[in-house]
A and B are shown apart, each in its own frame.
Chain A
Amino acid sequence: MTFLHPLALVGLAAAAIPALLHLLERRVPPEAEFPPLRYLSEAERQNARRLKLRHLLLLLLRTALIVLLVLAAARPLFPTRASGGSLHEPTALAVILDNSPSSGLVVDGRPVLERLKAMARGSLARATASDHLWLVLADGVARAGTREALLATVDSVGVSARRLDLTAAVGAATRLVDAEPLPAREVHVVSDLQRTALGSGRAAVPRGVRVLALAPPSQAAPNRGVGTVRVTDGAAAVGIVGTPGAGREGGPAPVTLRIRGREVGRALATPGSTVSISLPSLGPGWWVGEVVLDADELRADDRRLLVWRVAPPARVAAPPSAG
């Protein structure tokens, strides 16, 4: 058995109220004359045991009533044979796994994406055959499938270079599950909830659809990355960006320029600065290179590809007929 609102179980402390009232409420009863007190004493003497038992049962009953009310408020879920042993009613569930570049951030030696994947796996693992499932990744595509298929997809997910618009994704997912004729409809948003991912719009959530945001504990790590690369006049100008704390704590970081896999230049740069790395003399044509910054917690912005064209040298043609 599990509970839909386990926090409500705190109310179980209220079960002590009847006993406390019994112990604390020792008020002085009103007095009255009653001549046949001997009959009363006799009646009480003969019924003392029955009355004690009755009081005890009453106390237990009141306590049990409070416990039952609290348990009912906590919404217990029981596995039934009809639901295939699941602990919930048939549910249309869409899991949005935000594997956008920010999920590549490494916190405590472990990528955030791994934590997000673990959460997504947790949501999908509780699904049963009677549930309808979808998985939405950073590309915004809703993948329908069985629990096992979607779990396999989650396992294979890596950090995507695409940015996920969470607002749009939630809107689409809620419409998707709302169209299903199942008693319960849920959307689980598994994301690091990066500010830029939330956008400025609002997702309209239909009535009856529950949206759960599952996010790992947020830890803003210092970061630096390759902001811009521009090739001009035999050199590549590399602009380094970073969070305010990244430069001071880490100091200058080496920047490497590779052309066709071969390192051709290196420089030291701090966040907010632009360094120039000289290019070797290259023949005319299209060239592909990459600027690589020493790895930090967020790997996605530590490498940037660049393509440029070296024009052939200008030539002056003099026809014979020219004077």
Chain B
Amino acid sequence: MLITRSRLSSTRDIRLFISFREAMADVQRFDLLDPAEVARFGGIEIVAQGVVEGFLSGIHRSPFRGFSVEFTEHRAYQPGDELRYLDWKILARADRLFVKQFEQETNLRAMILVDASRSMAWRGAPNRLTKRAYADRLAAALALILLRQRDATGLITFDDVVREVVPARVKAGQWARLVRGLVDTPDGQGTAAQAALVRLTSLLARRGLVVLVSDLLFDRELALTALRYLRHRGHQVIVLHTMDPAEADLSGPPEVRYRDPESAASLVVRPRELARAYQATVRREVDAWRTACRRRGIAYHHILTDMPFGMALRLLA
């Protein structure tokens, strides 16, 4: 457990900590619970830590590679670390588990891009997380995993402009900065995320891993142009297409006027009679994104906001 009583300041934090510990005691795989249920235990930090604990206990090796050959230092063994990096001499001498770290380990520079546009602040049901809330928690968990591996991790949030930039670092307190960056980014009002994406490309100077968490409700070609540019610059790009289940399957009252939160556009539809056609359109759109990304060497994953965080992280492993 990464959180200790000494680091908790307020009574509220202590209460959350206790409830979190109890939950963890009851449920071994916190990462496989319903995201909305998990989110009840606390803020982004608590949820992300719980998810990562559960996630790492369920796999047998580190999900992300970054180790090199030039030894720099030791660090305590974490569940999931590859046993081949275990320092057997220290184990034999002191009966303690340490893994060896190498110079190039921190060469993996990961940048997590979180879409904070207005469309992300939407959820199809009150008992679900908004797409933004889900993306925040997933990004925080991903960042924690990367930082535990000593990978420099940064964060950029954006809507129609770049909102928060946390440069990629591996030093202590980086995760807290990342989480603060997520928390400090309000739900956006923007509508033209592709412009921000173009701006992002100039911020990512050094090669590394770029993870885009977004609902991709912007012009596909323009967005792909920006992502292709990143790929061209040598970045490994992963797109996490976040979608609320209500966006995948149309339902609702017999007749309703749907309004786009990012524009003045609206449309009167009868969800029941359009449901099948809409479902096919969404499926086509997802397939189009997947195909377009694959052609450009970009990893694409479609994630619904009711998918447990552990399963979403496993897609990246």
Residues of A within 8 A of B (CB): 29-44, 46-47, 51, 54
Query: Which residues of chain A have C-beta atoms less than 8 A from B258's C-beta?
Result: 31-34, 37, 40
- Other A-B pairs beyond A31-B259, A37-B266, 19, CB < 8 Å: A29-B256, A29-B268, A31-B266, A32-B252, A32-B257, A33-B258, A35-B119, A35-B261, A36-B243, A36-B282, A39-B281, A39-B282, A40-B258, A40-B267, A40-B269, A41-B265, A43-B281, A51-B274, A54-B273
Per the bound structure, the CA–CA distance linking A10 and B241 in Å amounts to 60
Nearest residue, chain B, Cβ from A54: B273
A-B contacts at CB below 8 angstroms, number: 81
Question: Does A35 lie within 8 Å of B260, measured CB to CB?
Answer: yes
Nearest residue, chain B, Cβ from A28: B257
Question: Does B122 lie within 8 Å of A39, measured CB to CB?
Answer: no
Q: Chain B 192-223 against A: per-residue CB contact (8 Å), 1 yes, 0 no?
A: 00000000000000000000000101000000
Per the bound structure, the CA–CA distance linking A46 and B273 in Å amounts to 13
Query: Which residues of chain A have C-beta atoms less than 8 A from B281's C-beta?
Result: 39-40, 42-43, 46
**Contacts A35-B261, A40-B267 hold; do A30 and B278 have CB atoms under 8 A apart?**
no
Nearest residue, chain B, Cβ from A46: B277
Nearest residue, chain B, Cβ from A58: B273
Query: Which residues of chain B have C-beta atoms less than 8 A from A37's C-beta?
Result: 258-260, 263, 265-267
CB of B173 within 8 Å of the partner chain: no
Query: Which residues of chain B have C-beta atoms less than 8 A from A46's C-beta?
Result: 277, 281
Question: Does B256 lie within 8 Å of A32, measured CB to CB?
Answer: yes
Query: Which residues of chain B have C-beta atoms less than 8 A from A51's C-beta?
Result: 273-274
Per the bound structure, the CA–CA distance linking A88 and B303 in Å amounts to 69
Nearest residue, chain B, Cβ from A27: B255
Interface centre among B255, B256, B277 (most CB of A within 10 A): B277
Residues of B within 8 A of A (CB): 119, 122, 215, 217, 243, 247, 250, 252-253, 255-263, 265-269, 273-274, 277-278, 280-282, 285
Nearest residue, chain B, Cβ from A33: B261
Per the bound structure, the CA–CA distance linking A37 and B250 in Å amounts to 11
Nearest residue, chain A, Cβ from B250: A40
Q: How far is the CB of B274 from chain A (nearest CB, A)?
A: 6
Nearest residue, chain A, Cβ from B280: A43
Question: Does B266 lie within 8 Å of A43, measured CB to CB?
Answer: no
Query: Which residues of chain A have C-beta atoms less than 8 A from B269's C-beta?
Result: 40, 44
Query: Which residues of chain B have C-beta atoms less than 8 A from A40's C-beta?
Result: 250, 258, 267, 269, 274, 278, 281
Per the bound structure, the CA–CA distance linking A54 and B274 in Å amounts to 12
Query: Which residues of chain A have C-beta atoms less than 8 A from B252's C-beta?
Result: 32
Per the bound structure, the CA–CA distance linking A43 and B248 in Å amounts to 13
Q: Within the complex, which residue of B247, B255, B259, B263 is in contact with A36, where a contact is CB–CB below 8 Å?
A: B247
Query: Which residues of chain A have C-beta atoms less than 8 A from B280's C-beta?
Result: 43
Question: Does B255 lie within 8 Å of A29, measured CB to CB?
Answer: yes
Interface centre among A31, A36, A37, A39 (most CB of B within 10 A): A36
Nearest residue, chain B, Cβ from A29: B255
Per the bound structure, the CA–CA distance linking A54 and B272 in Å amounts to 13
Per the bound structure, the CA–CA distance linking A44 and B122 in Å amounts to 22
Query: Which residues of chain B have C-beta atoms less than 8 A from A43's C-beta?
Result: 274, 277-278, 280-281
Question: Does A47 lie within 8 Å of B266, measured CB to CB?
Answer: no
Q: How far is the CB of A39 from chain B (nearest CB, A)?
A: 5
Q: How far is the CB of A181 from chain B (nearest CB, A)?
A: 55
Per the bound structure, the CA–CA distance linking A39 and B249 in Å amounts to 11
Q: How far is the CB of B160 from chain A (nearest CB, A)?
A: 15
Query: Which residues of chain A have C-beta atoms less than 8 A from B217's C-beta?
Result: 35-36, 38
Per the bound structure, the CA–CA distance linking A106 and B182 in Å amounts to 106
**Contacts A40-B278, A43-B278, A47-B277 hold; do A35 and B122 have CB atoms under 8 A apart?**
yes
Q: How far is the CB of B189 from chain A (nearest CB, A)?
A: 13
Q: How far is the CB of A216 from chain B (nearest CB, A)?
A: 57
Nearest residue, chain B, Cβ from A41: B267
Can you list 8 A-B pairs with a CB-CB distance of less than 8 A?
A: A29-B256, A29-B257, A30-B256, A32-B252, A35-B262, A37-B259, A43-B274, A44-B267
Query: Which residues of chain B have C-beta atoms less than 8 A from A47's C-beta?
Result: 274, 277
Question: Does B257 lie within 8 Å of A35, measured CB to CB?
Answer: no
Nearest residue, chain B, Cβ from A35: B119
Question: Does B267 lie within 8 Å of A33, measured CB to CB?
Answer: no
Nearest residue, chain B, Cβ from A47: B277
Nearest residue, chain B, Cβ from A55: B273
Per the bound structure, the CA–CA distance linking A35 and B187 in Å amounts to 14
Per the bound structure, the CA–CA distance linking A9 and B266 in Å amounts to 45
Per the bound structure, the CA–CA distance linking A152 and B281 in Å amounts to 79
What are the 3 tightest A-B residue pairs by CB atom distance, in nearest-first order? A35-B119, A34-B258, A37-B260
Query: Which residues of chain B have C-beta atoms less than 8 A from A36's C-beta?
Result: 119, 215, 217, 243, 247, 282
**Contacts A39-B281, A39-B282, A44-B269 hold; do A33 and B274 have CB atoms under 8 A apart?**
no
Q: How far is the CB of A31 from chain B (nearest CB, A)?
A: 5
Query: Which residues of chain A have C-beta atoms less than 8 A from B267's C-beta?
Result: 37, 40-41, 44
